[in-house]
Amino acid sequence: MTLNEIYNLFTKILDVAILWLIFYYILKYIKNNVKLTLIFKGLLIVIALKFLSVWLNLNTVGVLLEYVIDYAPLALVVIFQPEIRNVLESIGRSQLLGRHKVLTVDEREKVVYEIMQAVEYLRKNRIGALMVIERDYGLNQYIENSTKLYADVSSELLISIFFPNNPLHDGAVILQGDRITCAGSVLPTSLNPSISKRLGTRHRAALGISEISDAIALVVSEETGRVSLAIEGDLKYNMTLEDMRMTLIEELTPHKETFYDADEIEETPIEEKEEKENEGQ
């Protein structure tokens, strides 16, 4: 095999790999977005009807479907303009281009501690609350039209924001890193028809933001005092405070740090063993 043939084979493999990677992320995004899933199913039905019209020689139906297919890409760009902008923002906010501050272990534990202190108070006093923790997917779209705070995360500030009669208590608080970025944010509600009718607006908004992003949404029910977490379109309802705390720590831990900690755990016993052997000698 010549060098030129190896190069051509490598470029073809790379071309196919990049294409499959794009399809993978598109399908992954469709899966986590209920609105996009419904649109995708509708497009599949239109395409199936187009093939059926050709097979059965249905000229009128075929012509109408051709117009739909021709203008579908433009319609999708208009319909999903916010989602497309969020995807581009999330790419721009990646670590390669300077993402917001990555928390250390101590900073992350402090943030979780302050959040849980606030949640415990709000739960006991049955004060409704909705907090959203941004991760890799940018939430600037929902920060722009809210009240900016840019304050350090503290339980006292979170409690005061959601205290009854506060002008900002009805909206969502968005956290970025160890900062409370804004309050009073309006989030999209979930369109999932399988959601229980007993769930209120806060729970639907928490599910909605978790369906279109990788954010973590915490909800405190005003009626029952129960606490819930929405992650990747899944609502963990009526959690204990300890389960919520452990889930937050686990979800906010970067993957690379998890592997690093695991290596440390494996190496520590070996190092201790060597020290004991040296002391014995």
Would the pLDDT of 102 be above 80? no
Mean pLDDT of the chain: 80
pLDDT at 94 over 50: no
pTM of the model: 0.62
Least confident range from 64-73, 81-90, 238-247: namely 81-90
| Region 97-118 average pLDDT | 80
Which comes out higher in pLDDT, residue 257 or 131?
A: 131
**Chain segment 188-197, per-residue pLDDT in tens:** 888 777 788 8
Q: Which domains does the chain have, with CATH numbers?
A: 3-96 (no CATH), 105-257 (3.40.1700.10)
Average of pLDDT values for 121-126?
A: 94
The DSSP annotation for the chain comes to --HHHHHHHHHHHHHHHHHHHHHHHHHHHHHT-HHHHHHHHHHHHHHHHHHHHHHHT-HHHHHHHHHHHHHHHHHHHHHTHHHHHHHHHHHHTSGGG-PSPPP-HHHHHHHHHHHHHHHHHHHHTT--EEEEE--SS--HHHHHTSEEEEEE--HHHHHHHHSTT-TTTTSEEEEETTEEEEEEE--PPP--TTS-TT--HHHHHHHHHHHHSS-EEEEE-TTT--EEEEETTEEEEEE-HHHHHHHHHHHHS-HHHHHHHHHHHHHHHHHHHHHHHHHH-
